[in-house]
Amino acid sequence: MAINKPFKNILRNILDDLLDKYQSQHEVDLRELRTSDTSAIAERRILVTHAVGEAWEQFSTSHQDLIIKTLRKLGLTLSVDGSCDEELSVKGINSSFLQIGDWSRDHTQEDRQIDPDQGQELEDEEDLGTEFVDWV
């Protein structure tokens, strides 16, 4: 799922239009800035912010299905009960290598390790209770 390329194309077109309008109105080219010209840098930041907002508005309207499909594949809109975990896809990692854990399981008792010589709990180097997906 490629969201970046179509979004950047829309953003580039909108930003070019805004920069052209600004240049014709103010006779200043914000494409060629000097680091000492802080007011022009600020103006360009404002234009970029407006361009990103407008680009997202256009993109989210015209590519709604792509956004939904991508968010599902990333797992961001999957049900937290684990019923759709098979839909999770991580680029470059074979899905059979993903082990999806039970986020609701209480790791505090199960993951404790006891030192057999000392009879004391070993200190964990990592917090296993926060790890939901592991790559084998």
pLDDT for res 52: 97
Q: Which amino acid is at 11?
A: L
CA 77 remoteness from chain centre: 13
Give per-residue pLDDT as tens, 40-76: 999 999 999 999 999 999 999 999 999 988 888 878 8
Where residue 6 falls among pLDDT bands split at 50, 70, 90? Answer: very high
13 and 52 inside one domain:
yes
**Structural domain total, the chain:** 2
Q: Do 44 and 94 fall into the same domain?
A: no
Answer yes or no: do 60 and 91 share one domain. Answer: no
Q: Are 22 and 43 in contact (CB under 8 A)?
A: yes
Structural domain boundaries, residue 8: 4-73
Final residue in a domain of this structure, among 41, 73, 105: 73
Q: Rounded to whole angstroms, how far apart are CA atoms 128 and 33?
A: 49
* pLDDT at residue number 59: 96
**What's the predicted TM-score (pTM) here?**
0.60
**Has residue 80 been placed in a domain?**
no
Q: Would you say residue 89 lies in a domain?
A: yes
Q: Is residue 78 part of a domain?
A: no
Q: What is the mean pLDDT of residues 77-100?
A: 77
Tell me what pLDDT residue 118 has. Answer: 57
pLDDT band at residue 91, thresholds of 50, 70 and 90? Answer: confident
